[in-house]
Amino acid sequence: MLTLADGSMASLDYKFAEYRETIYQTHRYQAIFYSLLIKENFGKPVQKAFIVYTRSKNLLKEVPVRDIDFYALINMIEEIFLISEKCYFPRVAKNQMKCVDCCYKNICI
């Protein structure tokens, strides 16, 4: 966790991975999750997060964090609870490119 010069805070996450010209959705939402935890626990604004890709010579990538990202994450968390409490599985995506980052892709396709 970092405190920035403007008084806001940001998460800093290290990935033992190579950067492949894009930040995977799983990495992005993990950064947003950390940002939500910072915002709720420290009461500070969070507008960005950082990921270090150690297998790409410690390449530092900035992830913008917006309010809409927090809302989307909260919806995901609610869906996770629905899945675990009611044994509900999400529907298969019409566009299977969305399945690339999905943890259910091996059991529903």
**Could you list the residue range(s) of the whole structural domain that residue 79 is in?**
2-108
What the block records as the tokens of 26 is 């799983």
Q: What is the identity of the amino acid at 67?
A: D
Q: Are 53 and 34 in contact (CB under 8 A)?
A: no
In the chain, the number of structural domains is 1
- Encode the chain (109 residues) as per-residue pLDDT tens digits: 899 999 999 999 999 999 999 999 899 999 999 999 999 999 999 999 999 999 999 999 999 999 999 999 999 899 888 888 887 777 777 777 767 667 666 766 5
